[in-house]
Structure 1
């Protein structure tokens, strides 16, 4: 697809508007009674973006919301596919398999298990604080709300880009249930279902589960018949709601999952030696570039790439309703995540880089808040506390790489390890005041104290070789300083990372305690029931962070300080033509300070090595428009388009992915395309009194961007366009539905990430073309 592809989305919108105008004109000439028969109100979507229920068209901020059934119909089973439905949202995985969410260019490209995201995820307003834990949050949803822009006042730190709020399905006052059963390419079976029922007059239960399995779809370039990427995913949820009195409700949510799928391999693009050396095999130096095929790559033979990731989530929500003036909510949560995740780093059968990431996260969260309405004022006041413990480990294997020999000493596997403890305290308040029946003022503020402690940070020895290399580096440092050449022996399993102050091998220990005040002020004007105009100014913060790295010196563990985004947004939400048009648009400008990135710092033995750094100044501006059109009965068209212009400020100098020190002033952000567009359309029509047929499709356009600073062509992520299609039949009341579908219908070759690791440049390919069928049933 050419770089001008956004025009396709605009053209679709223009054609749809023209068709709608023609329809509206014809209706104006028809009798009033006939016109009434064709009127359709835009379906009301209730969201809790402001921590209380409201119609989405009355909430003065940019929100995308979709029901669980809508997501199922579109094949959106996890956050990686949200680009189909959420304008301005991007998803990619780092070289270590860590997912990264970005909204309007605000994200955090970090690899560590304990890296706090810039776009946070929530289940029923309870935070799931780290991105690695978010796989599987889409189980049995009532809806998903994607909030854009800083959400610091009500949702707290680490939501400078926005927030994903997953609303779980709830028990019902009568027996209900349903299932979705899919079978598709590569023998993929996806079964999910739920059942809800009252147990007593005051107690209800909802049980949901999902199981996914499938064969590997990636093919080896060098070993015919070898496959990778098998799926084996299981999760379940039990949700209880107890209402002992008319004003007291308790909700208990217990969710668990385990993921034993195989990690996917990246595609090898180019050989670029980190330091070069005799241990690099000639076969790796001359290994061919992966073909332009989403399925073809390579990986180390004889290695088991099955994950063993487990997540348990428990939350208790208590609500006490004291009338319109006071409603008390308490949220309590315990969460436990365990990870074992192999990573193929170079996409070849050679061991230039392979890793096994393992670790754990324990989280406790408590929030207490009071909200209500007094006269013209709606208020929220509250406080919360979060405790996180993160133990992050990665065993790195690189026996056939330039890193396998340092000062002539063979280097075996190493184990970067960090242990971190995080304590976060927050107090917040929000006030919405109706100045008149058409104008409402909004204000919010939050104070946050974020205390992060690096209990231990080290590159640990495994077989004795890293200990010998560390001793050699110690001696070299003393030599450069003109000091007697000495070194401290390191036992097997000991810490080889060197403290430059005393030139001793020892783990890093540090504290980063920071506080901030997030705030938001805004004004909205509702001249009619169908029009909302708003302006907002908000400031949000993302907490500082320590990395997990293969650190030669403790300097690499230096943290980045908190970043801040000052955001200006103006927007409109318009319902027109008796509900046949819903148009939402916004323009925005972000003043970004201390943006956190994974950059590089010089190392005495290895050259520039990864480290977290702050970008002093940068900015983003852009606009977005999404529209829902019903030009005729049965036809729904949803076009959306986003433009984002990102730019680093002057004076930011760092190292690129190839070790060159450059001035990156004026460059756009990585993983931030200027243009994104999607169009979803569906036409349904009756076959007989009880049966409907439907046909639909989805187009996604993702613009050109880059995987790193420096704008190197080899790290480019080219623009691409994908198409999905669906057709099927359904009962008139939508109790059951049979759908045939195709995703990436044209089998477009594309990639979602590009990076340099060790001696290679690699890409993560997109999903290949798949076909399948889904049977859905509700009762």
Structure 2
């Protein structure tokens, strides 16, 4: 960590502490908020505007999932969260890095150092890179999903939205609880916490979660062999320290360990890249279209990843209404995993090593006044310094490229190693104002200036001395032997019309470059309350997402070129209405996005190796749609929630090669991972059986229409087989969940039985081209089990 970074943390905390002592007798401590379930959406408290507000007073589209719902509906993963959140889609990437698409805005990129379009936070602290959020959803008070461009108030620009995990906080009295669940595939999920005061000024909460399960994927070629075991361990310690009435600190130390198997794709299509195909690949049968069917190289899928994070929130009440807040955090992530890329027991394209490291520091300082004033404001600054390294060893021994080069030139290369080292430094200044023109009308405006710099050092090199390494092929064949024998150097060739860090055009070497960008994101809007319980709002916003460099297997420098920042101009109008004495809650919003320079992982056609990965900007896209939600409580204990989403997301301008290797003009093509229609209904009924016992039943149905995994996914590559189905399409699907049980009237204990995807629907959320094969990433089959919980 840089000296300046340490100084910034120390100065901000010291200043807050000293000022807190000076003002200790001036302001009384704020009342403790509770995490108890609310009886109506009108009571739900959120922090979308960096202060606590009732959800129905927030003129933004915010989806909220309570901690109780997370447990009762067995929401244990990021894909589960997406299934219950309207307009949010989860994509399982080839290496397990989570990818979110919200209202058609997403960035499918598996590099560790890629910033997301939907940013994630833990108590407003940014988890700057998607993989850091993989196991954050435990012991939560709620999850808030903010839709539309973000950046004016949060510490990371995002064009799609933001997900804020709100951790359950330390309590004023001693409390403890545990939940144990057992289900299909010997799945064991155990979660526990203990919380309470340690002194008059100190309280703490310790929580943890364990997930164990056997493999759910079955090998098509080796009966009895399974993949997909789960071994996850999570923990969090929160320490709340309030030495004076005006000064508060919250320390959050959390982390996780993931030793699960990486998922294998289903081999559903053949797309040879060279003349000669490996005999085993040519003879391979397509995978059965069943949830559990798959194949992989024996013993390959493996994961040993870990993350820890520490954050410190310090708050000082300078006056009765003005508060200074400091948010400091540091995250450290280590990755060591192996991924099967081709869905076959052969080595067509497998990542036999995928190692990486993320070190990320974030600091925010902001000043704001109280939420009760007619003029509410916040000003502040953010700083981020991150270092991201990734090293990949790729085996292509059974690929058509290896086969062809072996037959034609006597160079049957089998491996390639490539790496990217990146350093990111971003700083920003932001401000936001809300002014009540009258009791009914509020005007809102905010802006954020961001300056971002990314430095990259990218190299492909192999151990020297082995004639089957790719480096030898480059030096002996592609470079004609003019540089002598290969000796472990970076071998990718500079095909740019300029010298890059000393590497002249036509020569091989490391690609060293820096991307500098800045932008101003902003939001303006009006809230109108024509009657009690009714809110009408309209917002116009501009959001950005920074550019970056890819981690790809390359032959020329043009594959290393970065994508520049993308932007979304958003227009949105909506309403929130609490009707019939809070029996019915209706929410709706219509929106239009002008989406420019969308970042896309695509392909280019390489004369030597066929289609290879590259990052590109799509000049222009557009998204329009609307959302409707209804929450009904017709009788005591019965709650029915429903949501319908329509999204029309199109490419307006793009000619090139898509991620399937198809060259075309894609004007009018669908934006990937964005179903046009989504419908979700969830119902829960809790009723008394006796004076001390209640019973409950519940059901959830989620339907999504078809979509595509790549731009132009409705078009098959001409050299691919079979041709009688959309190889890069994602079919429509319906998931049905059920639950039932009993609990004590004070909810101290609870017993339930549950089922997820009870009709064993076969569905998938991604399709990837991997050299010669096309593979689907299927969703889990039907699961069911029993859960026990107890709270003290």
How far off is 1:85 after superposition? 2.0
* Residue 594, structure 1, aligned to residue 591, structure 2: no
Q: Which residue of 2 aligns with 1:666?
A: 668
Q: Which residue of 1 aligns with 2:138?
A: 139
SS in 1 for 2:581: helix
State the TM-score, normalized to the length of structure 2: 0.90
How far off is 1:587 after superposition? 0.3
How far off is 1:349 after superposition? 1.2
Deviation per CA, 1:174-199, whole angstroms, max 9, x where unpaired? Answer: 10111110000011111001100100
SS in 2 for 1:77: coil
Distance 2:594 2:300 in 1: 46
Q: Which residue of 2 aligns with 1:27?
A: none
Distance 1:340 1:273 in 2: 30
Distance 1:351 1:674 in 2: 37
How far off is 1:219 after superposition? 0.8
* Residue 235, structure 1, aligned to residue 234, structure 2: yes
Distance 2:360 2:163 in 1: 19
CA contact (8 A) 2:42 2:578 kept: no
Kindly report which structure 2 residues correspond to 1:344-493, keeping only aligned pairs within 5 A, or say none. Answer: 344-355=340-351, 356-373=353-370, 376-405=374-403, 406=405, 408=409, 409-454=411-456, 456-462=457-463, 464=466, 465-472=469-476, 474-475=478-479, 486-492=482-488
CA contact (8 A) 2:649 2:670 kept: yes
CA contact (8 A) 2:652 2:667 kept: yes
Kindly report which structure 2 residues correspond to 1:308-327, keeping only aligned pairs within 5 A, or say none. Answer: 308-327=304-323
Q: Which residue of 1 aligns with 2:338?
A: 342
SS in 2 for 1:200: coil
Distance 1:659 1:606 in 2: 12
Q: Which residue of 2 aligns with 1:707?
A: 709
Distance 1:45 1:593 in 2: 35
- Seen in structure 2, the aligned counterparts of structure 1 residues 488 and 142 have a Cα distance that, compared at 3 Å, is farther
Q: Which residue of 1 aligns with 2:691?
A: 689
CA contact (8 A) 2:300 2:339 kept: no
- Seen in structure 2, the aligned counterparts of structure 1 residues 42 and 382 have a Cα distance that, compared at 3 Å, is closer
How far off is 1:43 after superposition? 5.4
Q: Which residue of 2 aligns with 1:121?
A: 120
How far off is 1:292 after superposition? 2.1
Structure 1 portions without partners, runs of 5+:
1-38, 477-484
How far off is 1:42 after superposition? 4.7
Distance 2:345 2:604 in 1: 30
Distance 1:80 1:86 in 2: 10
Kindly report which structure 2 residues correspond to 1:289-308, keeping only aligned pairs within 5 A, or say none. Answer: 289-301=286-298, 303-308=299-304
Distance 1:83 1:128 in 2: 18
* Residue 86, structure 1, aligned to residue 90, structure 2: no
> 479, 494, 511: which is aligned to 1:499?
494
- Seen in structure 2, the aligned counterparts of structure 1 residues 324 and 149 have a Cα distance that, compared at 3 Å, is farther
Distance 2:309 2:753 in 1: 34
More divergent stretch after superposition (467-476 vs 316-325) = 467-476
Distance 1:102 1:660 in 2: 23
Distance 1:379 1:177 in 2: 38
More divergent stretch after superposition (88-97 vs 563-572) = 88-97
Distance 2:746 2:753 in 1: 19
Q: Which residue of 1 aligns with 2:57?
A: 58
CA contact (8 A) 2:253 2:309 kept: yes
SS in 1 for 2:674: coil
The number of residues matched between the two structures is 727
> 512, 521, 530: which is aligned to 2:515?
512
How far off is 1:305 after superposition? 2.2
Q: Which residue of 2 aligns with 1:25?
A: none
CA contact (8 A) 2:391 2:419 kept: yes
Distance 1:721 1:74 in 2: 16
CA contact (8 A) 2:116 2:129 kept: yes
Distance 1:519 1:74 in 2: 37
Q: Which residue of 2 aligns with 1:246?
A: 245
CA contact (8 A) 2:611 2:771 kept: no
SS in 2 for 1:110: coil
SS in 2 for 1:64: strand
How far off is 1:605 after superposition? 2.0
How far off is 1:70 after superposition? 1.1
How far off is 1:146 after superposition? 0.5
How far off is 1:488 after superposition? 4.8
State the TM-score, normalized to the length of structure 1: 0.91
How far off is 1:657 after superposition? 3.9
Distance 1:607 1:400 in 2: 15
Distance 1:523 1:602 in 2: 49
How far off is 1:659 after superposition? 3.1
Structure 2 portions without partners, runs of 5+:
1-37, 496-503, 716-725
CA contact (8 A) 1:693 1:729 kept: yes
How far off is 1:412 after superposition? 2.1
> 282, 287, 294: which is aligned to 1:285?
282
How far off is 1:304 after superposition? 4.1
SS in 1 for 2:530: strand
* Residue 625, structure 1, aligned to residue 628, structure 2: yes
Deviation per CA, 1:456-513, whole angstroms, max 9, x where unpaired? Answer: 101221464212111145436xxxxxxxx72354313x31111224322211011110
How far off is 1:553 after superposition? 1.3
How far off is 1:156 after superposition? 4.3
Kindly report which structure 2 residues correspond to 1:11-50, keeping only aligned pairs within 5 A, or say none. Answer: 42=41, 44-50=43-49
Distance 1:656 1:266 in 2: 20
Distance 2:345 2:522 in 1: 52
Deviation per CA, 1:365-419, whole angstroms, max 9, x where unpaired? Answer: 1100000049521000000100010001111111111132546211121112100
How far off is 1:771 after superposition? 1.0
Q: Which residue of 1 aligns with 2:582?
A: 579
Q: Which residue of 2 aligns with 1:15?
A: none
Distance 1:743 1:139 in 2: 19
SS in 1 for 2:286: coil
- Seen in structure 2, the aligned counterparts of structure 1 residues 661 and 360 have a Cα distance that, compared at 3 Å, is same
- Seen in structure 2, the aligned counterparts of structure 1 residues 70 and 659 have a Cα distance that, compared at 3 Å, is closer
More divergent stretch after superposition (225-234 vs 269-278) = 269-278
Q: Which residue of 2 aligns with 1:559?
A: 562
Q: Which residue of 1 aligns with 2:787?
A: 774
CA contact (8 A) 1:458 1:554 kept: no
Distance 2:39 2:143 in 1: 24
